[in-house]
Amino acid sequence: MSFDELIFQLDNTTSIAAKTRLVREFARENSSPLIEDTRATFFYLSEDAQSVALEGDWTNWQPTAPLEYLPDTPLWYRIERFPRAARLEYRIVVNGRARLDPRNPRVVAAEAGPHSQVAMPDYRAPRELTEPPPAVRGSVEQHWLMSRVLNERRTFWVCLPPRYSPRSTYSVVYVNDGDGYLRFADLPRVMDYLIERGEVTPFIAVLIKPNDREKEYARNNNYVRFVTNELVPWLDDNYPTRAESFARAIIGAGLGGLSAAHIARRRPTVFGWVGAQSGFFGDYNDALLRDYAAAPNLGIRFHLMVGEFETDMRGEGKPSGDLVAAQRRLAQVLRDKGYIVQSVEYPEGHQWGFWRAHLGEMLRYFWGK
């Protein structure tokens, strides 16, 4: 039974008991949201709720999408229209309290707690996440380094590729928000899959845990010095790395993406590749863009990606919160300077689920065969 058919039957039924029976039968046969082409129908059953709303990637995580109550039934519902390839995350807010959608079995991990997920008909998760992990896996080693520049202890993880050999030499990707990429993006699984499938040349990943990300990633030159003057030399001394800029990439998400682009701008002889997922490039009145515009082409290559729903990240309506427009401006500045840039947009939101699904795309761009 489609949702429209349910509403038609309810409109033509006078008995409250019969209406309740129809709604509960529909709920047993369908999960929420019910997907029909570009339409997503969210529904919730409650006979005593005072208010029900949705908060998610398309509402800037504010409960501004109320569900409509159908009198004489336990049914609350809301119809949304999304692009056919969209993947979005949300929670349902009942009487002011946010929770997972109890009618939706699709749950994804997120930094602030799990979210419910809606995937539209044309969304396809990448095979590195849907297929079983490779039989041969790499290893993850935890280290720490006392930074003289920052005057603090820094924790990081070194992810070695499957069939690692100290007699080989490897490219290295350095990762801001390394704990997030380890916990939520499952970077070791993604890199192992790509390497074992022969889709990329084997490489090493260095996952840097932030101590104070708001400070470190805010175009902080002391953090630049830590990464380039302390961490990179330590890796080169302790692992068989290729010590050249085009064998090193630096990536990050959100503020970590802004930081990655800033670090490469300051040290282009260290990093030849930049990967940014949902970067806050508009912060500080486009300071990063002006920085690149004022310099000659430094030979860096860029992979930029952003979600189409990331247009007001701080809920203030300011240009700095529109990550889509900021990425487009940065890409144009770089192309005008003659840089090689891949800039892509997807109908998704500011989530680890988005970054995880497209991490392999970025790694293929760097070192794909």
Question: Would you put residue 286 in left (φ > 0), alpha (ψ -120 to 50) or beta?
Answer: left
Q: Rounded distance, CA 313 to CA 322, Å?
A: 7
Where in 264-363 does DSSP place strands (E)?
273-277, 301-307, 340-346
Share of the chain above pLDDT 90, in %: 95
Right CATH for 3-120 from 2.60.40.10, 3.30.390.50, 3.20.20.70, 3.20.20.100: 2.60.40.10
Question: In this structure, what DSSP letter does residue 329 have?
Answer: H
pLDDT tens track for 298-344:
999 999 999 999 999 877 778 888 999 999 999 999 999 999 999 99
**Which sequence spans correspond to the domains of the chain?**
3-120, 128-367
In the chain, count H helices and then E strands: 12, 18
The pTM is what? 0.95
Q: Rounded distance, CA 151 to CA 226, Å?
A: 10
User: What is the model's pLDDT at position 14?
Assistant: 87
Q: Rounded distance, CA 223 to CA 212, Å?
A: 11
| Region 220-239 average pLDDT | 98
DSSP-assigned states of every residue in 250-271: EEEETHHHHHHHHHHHH-TTT-
Average pLDDT, the chain: 96
DSSP-assigned states of every residue in 291-310: HHHTS-----EEEEEEETT-
- Structurally, at CATH architecture level, domain 128-367 sits in 3-Layer(aba) Sandwich (3.40)
User: What is the model's pLDDT at position 363?
Assistant: 98
Burial (0-12, 13-18, 19+ Cβ within 10 Å), 194: buried
Ramachandran angles phi, psi of 14, nearest 5°? -100, -25
Q: Give the pLDDT band (50/70/90) at residue 242.
A: very high
Question: In this structure, what DSSP letter does residue 227 have?
Answer: I
Task: Please report which helix (H) or strand (E) contains residue 152, including its range.
Answer: strand 152-160
pLDDT tens track for 131-187:
999 999 999 999 999 999 999 999 999 999 999 999 999 999 999 999 999 999 999
Q: What angle do CA 234, 236, 241 make, to 5 degrees?
A: 145
Among candidate residues 255, 273, 354, the one with its CA nearest the CA of residue 306: 354
